[in-house]
């Protein structure tokens, strides 16, 4: 399948604390970068390590820092049926999905 991105969407904020009325989608936990994006991520991880914040940081924290620094993060919307599988219990329920 191919995608022609005519009107690109950009992340404005990524957090677990966004009011429901402001949510436009759910992040599925995948990140794809180009070489420049990989360099930015490596540099931000190094900065977080130097600050001492890396140990307790999440990927959401990393992406939020990149956004606050003015970097753009694009969105690729995925349509269709998806199940949120976070643990063994979710996986057991997902096996019954038809």
Given a contact cutoff of 8 angstroms between Cβ atoms, the answer to whether 65 and 72 are in contact is no
Range of the domain at 40: 9-94
Residue at 74 is within a domain? yes
Q: What is the pLDDT of residues 51-90, one digit of tens each?
A: 999 999 999 999 999 999 999 999 888 777 778 888 999 9
Q: Does residue 22 sit within a domain?
A: yes
Alpha carbons 76 and 19: distance in angstroms, whole number? 21
Taking only the tens place, the pLDDT of each residue in 19-37 is: 988 888 888 888 999 999 9
Q: What is the number of structural domains in the chain? A: 1
In a domain, 47, yes or no: yes
- Please check the confidence at residue 3 and state whether its pLDDT lies above 60: no
- For 29, the token pair is 């936990």
Q: Which residues are within 8 A (CB) of 54 and not within 5 positions of it... i.e. 6 or more apart? A: 45, 48
Position 1 in a domain: no
User: Treating both helix axes as pointing N-terminal to C-terminal, what angle do 35-51 and 59-68 enclose, rounded to 10 degrees?
Assistant: 100
Strand positions, DSSP E, 1-98: 9-10, 74-75
In a domain, 2, yes or no: no
**Domain contains 39:** yes
Would you say residue 85 lies in a domain? Answer: yes
Residue 75 lies in a domain: yes
């Amino acid at each position: 399948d191919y995608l022609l991105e005519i009107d690109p969407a950009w992340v404005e904020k990524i957090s677990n604390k966004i009011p429901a009325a402001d949510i436009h989608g759910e992040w599925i936990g995948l990140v794809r970068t180009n070489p420049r994006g990989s360099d930015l991520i490596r540099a931000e991880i190094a900065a977080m390590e130097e600050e001492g914040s890396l140990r307790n940081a999440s990927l959401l924290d990393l992406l939020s820092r990149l956004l606050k620094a003015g970097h753009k993060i694009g969105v690729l919307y995925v349509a269709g049926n998806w199940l949120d599988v976070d643990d063994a219990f979710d996986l057991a329920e997902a096996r019954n999905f038809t």
